[in-house]
Amino acid sequence: MSNTTSYRVTGMTCGGCSSAMTKALAKAAPGLKAEVSHEENQVVVHGAHDPAAIKKASENAGFEFGGAL
């Protein structure tokens, strides 16, 4: 059974930001299934994962991690 968790990630202002965040997620947590939305300022992660990896990816991409929604 998979779960879905949404995280607040602020500082993304365009599609390029979403792309940068997606690439950072792929590097920090290979195989992670996630949707990035700069319009919603969030990352939706599907399945088991380590929240610390989402935080790390956010910071590596230059965005602010705001925790789970």
At residue 1, does pLDDT exceed 90?
no
pLDDT confidence of residue 54 = 96
pLDDT confidence of residue 2 = 58
Nearest Cα neighbor of 45 from 1, 12, 6, 2 is: 6
**How many Å apart are CA 25 and CA 33, to the nearest integer?**
9
Domains of the chain: 14-68 (3.30.70)
**How many Å apart are CA 61 and CA 47, to the nearest integer?**
22
4-52: pLDDT as tens digits: 999 999 999 999 999 999 999 999 989 999 999 999 999 999 998 999 9
∠21-55-17 over CA atoms, to 5°? 20
Q: Which residues contact 1 (CB under 8 A, 6 or more apart)?
A: none
pTM higher than 0.75 for the full model? yes
Residue pair 39/1 in contact (Cβ under 8 Å)? The answer is: no
